[in-house]
Structure formats: C-alpha cells, structure tokens
Structure 1
Amino acid sequence: MDLFGSSTFKVLERGLTGAHLRQNSISQNIANLDTPNYTAKQVNFKHTLNDALNETKLKANRTNELHVDFSTAKLSTVVEANRSTTYNHNQNIDLEMAELAKNQIYYNAMIDRLNGRFTNLQTVIRGGK
C-alpha cells in the first residue's frame, strides 16, 4: 500500500514546488531592482497542478461541457522573462512585495492541507483515537 503516492500528495507536492520556484524568482526580482537592464522573471506554475492531476489520472465528472477537462490540460511550470517590465523602484518594489505576500499565503495553504493529510493518516494509524 502506497500511503504517500496518492494523487493528493502528488498535487500538494507540485503546488509546493511551484510556490518555491515563484519565491525564488520574486526574490531575484527584488534583489535586482536597481540592476541596469535586468529583466524581471515570472513563474507560471498553476499548470503544475494540472500536470500532477494528469499524471495521477484523476477522473473528473464533467456536468457541463464548459467545465475544465483535466485529461486535456498538459502544461508545466514555466519561468519566463517579462521583457515589458521597466523598473521604477517605487512602483515595482510594491508590486513584487504584493506578489511575495500572495505566494506566501498560497504556500501556507498548501502546507496546511499537507498537515491535514498527515493528521488524517495519524488518526487512522492510532485507530481513530
């Protein structure tokens, strides 16, 4: 029996990996605010969860054709250079700090969910006590 190989653990792992990559890119953007010709980086990791869902062959019941079909979304985490960004120190530090806060909230939510899964396993192991 594979306790940690369930689809939930894989999805949470991918979410945490994506949040980690985003944290790194945001911190690089903040560190290089005053660097001439620095190109800001963005991480698109929402598709990482789709990859994890596809790998685990999650079956989703679509009740409407407009709903997302999990079996067709096949994208991965992408770190992109945002070439349209010209840094203005006052504006961009606020933007980057806001993105950092959003990412921290996302990361904490993933950790809370992972802790919940481990608590459930612990309860089962203890026999419901």
Structure 2
Amino acid sequence: MFNRLYSNIDIFNKALDGLWLRDKTINHNISNANTPNYKKLSVNFEDKLKNFMENKSSKLIKTHNKHLPTTNSLDEVKPIINIDKNHSYRFDKNNVNIDIEMANRAKNNIMYNAVINQTVDEFDKIKNVINEGSK
C-alpha cells in the first residue's frame, strides 16, 4: 500500500513541476507581450505523464534474467517547452495575446491548486495509516 501512495505523490510532484514551469512560461509570455518579434512559449507535459501512468511497465519482454529491467521511469517524464512560430497577431510579429495568456494563467493556477490538494490528501492518508497502526 505504501508503494502505491508514494507513487501517487511522485506523480503529483511531477505534475506540480510541469504546472510550475507552465506558470513561469506564461508569466514570461505576459512580460514580453510588447516585445517585437517575440514568439509565445507553451509547456506540454500532460501527455507524457498520462502515457507513463497508463504504461508503467514497458511492453518489452524480458527473455533472460540478466536483461535490464523493463519498467518505465518517472524521471523520463519531462516537460517540453514549445515555441509557437506559426502565428503573428500584430504587425511587429509578436504573437502573444494577453487575454489568452491571462486566462491560461488562471486555468493553470486552478490546476496547480487542485494537484496541491490531492497531494495533501495523499499525505493525510499516510498519516491516518500511521495513526491507526499505532493504536
């Protein structure tokens, strides 16, 4: 049971890292909203995290006991920063839409707070197990 709990905490931690980087990137976009030729940045990590959660073990088959382990590592899940070079909303070739960025920041803050609450709930579960076990 503890492995599952710690695994959830590790996944939540990885999600928080991605959400924190996204917040930093959105703030960078907002601060460069009036910079000529600036191209908007975005962060993607959800697909990789979802893939990890769905395929915790590799589909490779171990045919010999001396082969390397085939499990996927959560350390391999890293956020990707993309540069949007396709669109330009203005004559100065800047493609940051401040309204969209502000909405993205609000959405990201809600997601961050939700993951924080889930992480706290996981620690509460561990605390309850410890407290009940000591009785």
Shorter-chain-normalised TM-score: which range?
0.7 to 0.9
Q: TM-score, normalised by structure 2?
A: 0.70
> Which residue does the alignment assign to 2:69?
none
Q: Extract unaligned runs of 5+ from structure 1.
A: 59-70
- Which residue does the alignment assign to 1:67? none
User: How far off is 1:4 after superposition?
Assistant: 8.7
State the Cα RMSD in Å: 3.2
Partner of 2:127: 122
> Is residue 12–residue 114 contact of structure 1 (8 Å, CA) maintained in 2?
yes
Mapped pair 1:86 → 2:91: no
Q: Structure 2: any 5+ residue segments left out of the alignment? A: 59-71
Q: Residue by residue, what CA displacement relative to the aligned partner does 1:44-83 show, whole Å, maximum 9, x if unpaired? A: 111241354268539xxxxxxxxxxxx8xx9742100011
Q: Please tell me whether Structure 1 or Structure 2 has the larger radius of gyration of its CA atoms.
A: 2
| C-alpha deviation, 1:28, in angstroms | 0.4
Q: How does 1:1-129 map to 2 (within 5 A)?
A: 6-50=6-50, 52-53=52-53, 56-57=56-57, 76-88=78-90, 92-127=97-132
Residue aligned with 1:127, SS: helix
Does the 8 Å CA contact 2:25/2:42 hold for their aligned counterparts?
yes
| Secondary structure at the counterpart of residue 42 of structure 1 | strand
The one-character-per-residue Cα deviations of 1:10-57 (angstroms, maximum 9, x if unpaired) are: 211111011011101100000000001101101111124135426853
How many pairs align?
114
Q: What secondary structure is seen at the aligned counterpart in 2 of 1:84?
A: coil
Report the secondary structure of 1:86's partner residue. Answer: coil
For 2:19 and 2:13, locate their aligned partners in 1 and report how far apart those are by CA, in whole Å.
Answer: 10
**Structure number with higher relative contact order (C-alpha < 8 Å, ≥ 6 residues apart):** 2
